[in-house]
Amino acid sequence: MQLFFPKLKNNPVAAIAAAFVVGAVLIALPFVVGQFGNAWVRALAFAALYVMLALGLNIVVGFAGLLDLGYIAFYAVGAYMYALLASPHLTSNFPAFAAMFPNGLHNSIWLVIPLGAVLAAVFGVMLGAPVLKLRGDYLAIVTLGFGEIIRIFMNNLNAPVNITNGPQGITLIDPVTIGGVNFAKPLDLGFVTLPSVYLYYYLFVVLTIFTIIVCVRLQNSRLGRAWMAIREDDVAAKAMGINVRNVKLLAFALGATFGGVAGAMFSAFQGFVSPESFSLMESIIVLAMVVLGGLGHIPGVILGAVLLAMFPEILRHTVVPVQQQLFGKVIVDAEVLRMMLYGLAMVVIMLYRPKGLWPAPEHGLKKPGKTDNAPSPAIV
């Protein structure tokens, strides 16, 4: 809580009380918005996934200052990894797998999450290694190409050996199961019944909180300071003894880790994955979340991710019904209007709040109205 409200730093009792309040709000939120339909709870669950993605990208872009336009590739890697390990696709297309696993592949979430993180980190190092000396536009172009290569591979790895099932995608993916609780079915607690989407929402919130804790610890660590030094001036950072190569590779690897975990959870939540879910536009939207909220500022990134993730659902339930009532038909589709407003929002933010809606505090600056007690230098 001290991250969001620095004034609570010297008041631990108030910080604990604030944490309890926030926890109660997060627990009660699906019951409140669920009164308007489970689609809103589903949007909240996706908002939690996007917060994880935005925080992962913030490590690369916000902390280390490395512009990455192919971040959604790690999301795809995690999603397809879970889909292959928790669906009948491999056993149906490869007799060897069918012989090894006669009951099919049904892997536990405790295996999938670490494996998704490690696999995405490996792909992050594969992306980072060739681009260590690139900066700015050149780095953006190369990472954009990496993201498109991954998507094209997913789209074409159905021949001559069917690994990803191509554009048709992979279906019949197992839902998450924890302690015998199947997240695809409602959970009866006796006093209340939690629908499936509520269970996924709570799981994603727990993972998001864990992601926030890790990001805060990284930001305040020696590694986080090294990332910020590289962001400001990598030549000066190298002169100060920082191993720029290794630190950049760690930024790509750790940032990709959260994308892989989020992708695995997306695959389980949807029960279906296809290359269409991992287009360049998704990378741009996640980057827009980071820029809109505030580069390098964890609370700002969370704010930007929640706003842009919930925005399509708000438009869908407001713009479309209003147009039908006024004109009798939908003139401007909600998706088209969403992209127009995304662009307009980014232009306005860059013009009037270039550091984001909730920028990182600037340390060392004097507050307005306060004067320095030191004498002014003499004017010669």
Q: Give residue-wise pLDDT tens across range 317-370.
A: 787 788 788 887 777 777 788 888 878 888 888 888 888 888 887 654 445 554
Tell whether 344 is covered by a domain. yes
CA contacts within 13 A on the Cβ side of 358: 17
**Domain region containing 155:** 38-352
Tell whether 321 is covered by a domain. yes
Tell whether 361 is covered by a domain. no
Tell whether 149 is covered by a domain. yes
Tell whether 207 is covered by a domain. yes
One-letter amino acid identity for 249? L
- What is the pTM assigned to this prediction? 0.89
Tell whether 340 is covered by a domain. yes
- How far apart CA 265 and CA 173 sit, in angstroms, is 11
How many separate domains does the chain show?
1
Count of CB atoms situated within 10 Å of the CB of 357: 16
Range of lowest pLDDT (82-91, 226-235, 312-321, 367-376)? 367-376
Tell whether 15 is covered by a domain. no
Range of lowest pLDDT (3-17, 283-297, 318-332, 343-357)? 3-17
- How far apart CA 121 and CA 114 sit, in angstroms, is 10
List the CATH number of the domain containing 52: 1.10.3470
What is the full DSSP assignment across 271-318?
A: S-B-GGGG-HHHHHHHHHHHHHH-TT-HHHHHHHHHHHHHHHHHHHHH
* CB distance 189 to 178 below 8 Å: no
Q: Write out the E strands in the chain.
A: 177-178, 181-182, 187-188, 193-194
Q: What angle do CA 151, 184, 168 make, to 5 degrees?
A: 30
Tell whether 31 is covered by a domain. no
- How far apart CA 155 and CA 274 sit, in angstroms, is 8
* CB distance 255 to 52 below 8 Å: no
Question: What is the tens place of the pLDDT at every residue in 161-190?
Answer: 889 999 999 998 999 998 888 999 999 888
